[in-house]
Amino acid sequence: MRHLLSPLDFKVEELDELLNLASDIEKNPEKYKHACDGKKLATLFYEPSTRTRLSFESAMLSLGGNVLGFASADSSSASKGESVSDTIRIISCYADICAMRHPKEGAPTVAAEKSSIPVINAGDGGHQHPTQTLTDLMTIRSLKGHLDNLTIGLCGDLKFGRTVHSLINALVRYDNISFVLISPKELQLPDYIRQDVLEANNIPYKEVEQLETSMPELDILYMTRVQRERFFNEDDYVRLKDRYVLTKEKMQYANENMLILHPLPRVNEISVEVDDDPRAVYFKQVQYGVYVRMALILTLLNIKV
């Protein structure tokens, strides 16, 4: 049995297969409409979510399957003190596959040890978010045509932003990738990613504080929100939250093929006037997220169509 706990759980060739499957689903959705008839997906969300939970549910429903679950820790037995290990044993009797989001780093891994169904990490604390990474990879591959030879700017909260951590982990496996890490000093990438992932793989990167001056060299600009819920102190959040705001005016520094991605939710970091720019693809990204989750469910359940 297979889980998806980290973006490295799939080898590059397996990822290629998964993204090919997701593209086929995009082109021929009818073909997959009954692929999961009779199967159930449980969504166990101990932390707020709109896109991730609903895109998993939408993915399973589009495959003909059913969904059950809870959307907050308060409405589950976690509020009575039940452990994740016990909960997953119970859920294993109710569903065929589950997606779990949890504020504690590593919780989905703990669950997977006791689970008799595939567990998908749908975000664990400030750690990883592998299905957002699959979404990001599909967006880049579909719109740029390749995942190699790219300069990627990551901007905003690189310290607590788990989507950034997962995306870096996944992208360093492709050829000729370099990163521009754009953040205030306080929100720089954690050492365990800088050293163990970037430096260990000899990936060129620079750390800068200015957004505009880095824009001309970027193929992708990945914007992120400042992760308020992971701050220890509200004053720090207030001081840093509006540090980067991408406006129409700043877009004149970008090259004409640069794509803007954002895992969403957006707060202030991209002004709404940018939404009409053809380079702004964060809403398309949401749609790719459904196809890639459909492909993931089929792959983990070992269903061939």
Catalytic positions, please?
51-52, 80, 101, 129
Nearest approach, Cβ of residue 240 and ligand NCD (Å) = 14
Rounded to 5 degrees, what are φ and ψ at 233? -145, 125
Full strand arrangement of the beta sheet holding 66-70: 66-70, 40-45, 97-102, 119-124
Which of residues 7, 123, 130, 153 is near ligand NCD by CB under 6 A?
Answer: 123
Q: Do 101 and 229 form a contact (C-beta atoms < 8 A)?
A: no
Nearest approach, Cβ of residue 226 and ligand NCD (Å) = 9
Q: What is the DSSP letter of 190?
A: P
In 3-state terms, what secondary structure has residue 256?
A: coil
Among residues 300, 295, 298, the alpha carbon closest in space to that of 20 is found at 295
Instruction: Give the side-chain half-sphere CA count within 13 A for 102.
Output: 23
In 3-state terms, what secondary structure has residue 119?
A: strand
Place of tokens 């700043």: 250
- Any contact of residue 51 with ligand NCD (CB under 6 A)? yes
Q: Pick out residues in 142-171 that bind ligand NCD (CB under 6 A).
A: 162-163
Place of tokens 């990163």: 179
Q: What is the per-residue binding string for ligand NCD in 5-44, x denoting contact by CB under 6 A?
A: ----------------------------------------
Nearest approach, Cβ of residue 127 and ligand NCD (Å) = 10
The piece of 25-33, 188-196, 231-239, 262-270 that touches ligand NCD (CB under 6 A) is: 262-270
- Any contact of residue 264 with ligand NCD (CB under 6 A)? yes
Q: Pick out residues in 208-247 that bind ligand NCD (CB under 6 A).
A: 224-225
Total residues at the site for ligand NCD (CB under 6 A)?
12
- Any contact of residue 139 with ligand NCD (CB under 6 A)? no
If one counts every other C-beta atom within 10 angstroms of the C-beta of residue 279, the result is 15
Which of residues 65, 69, 130, 263 is near ligand NCD by CB under 6 A?
Answer: 263
Q: Among residues 65 and 123, whose Cβ is nearest to ligand NCD?
A: 123
Q: Among residues 40 and 162, whose Cβ is nearest to ligand NCD?
A: 162
CA distance 236 to 89: 40
